[in-house]
Structures are given as structure tokens and as C-alpha cells.
Amino acid sequence: MSNQRAGKTYRASAGDTMADMKLRNFFRSAAEILNECDEKDAAFYFEQVVDFINDGGRISDERSKVATILGV
């Protein structure tokens, strides 16, 4: 019998990553559609969000963080 107590374990949270992937795919599709409709300016901002998520960023609702993501 050991005096060592059992280590704490944590479940891997796949739910968050799946939500991020769905959100990224939404922004990517929106950018493609806007580019097809010759809405280049609007598509640019959707592409900014896609790039941010692809680089490992987490979406936040803080105004300063949103401005940074959009590059404004």
C-alpha cells in the first residue's frame, strides 16, 4: 500500500475546440461569399478573424480585443 494519493485528472474539453472550429468555418465561408459578391472590404474583416483563430487566438467580447482582431 502506498502513501501517495491519487493525482487529479481532468477531462479533455473537445467542446470548446469544436465550437471554435465551427466559428472559424463560419467566418471563412462568410469571407468567401462576400468576395464572390465583390464585397472585398467586408470580406477583409472576416478574413482577419479567421487568421486570428488559425493563429491560436481566442475570441473575446472585450472591445479592445475585438479592435485588435479586426486590425483597427
Q: What is the pLDDT of residues 23-55, one digit of tens each?
A: 999 999 999 999 999 999 999 999 999 999 999
pLDDT, position 6: 76
Q: In this model, does residue 15 exceed pLDDT 70? A: no
CA distances from 50 to 1, 5, 59, 64 (A): 53, 44, 10, 18
pLDDT, position 24: 92
Q: In this model, does residue 4 exceed pLDDT 80? A: no
Kindly report whether the global pTM for this prediction surpasses the value 0.75: no
Handedness of CA 13, 14, 19, 21 (dihedral sign): positive
- Helix ranges (H only) for the chain are 14-36, 40-54, 63-70
Q: In this model, does residue 14 exceed pLDDT 60? A: no
Domain boundaries, the chain: 38-72
Using a 10 angstrom Cβ sphere, with 0-12 exposed, 13-18 middle and 19 or more buried, the burial of residue 27 is buried
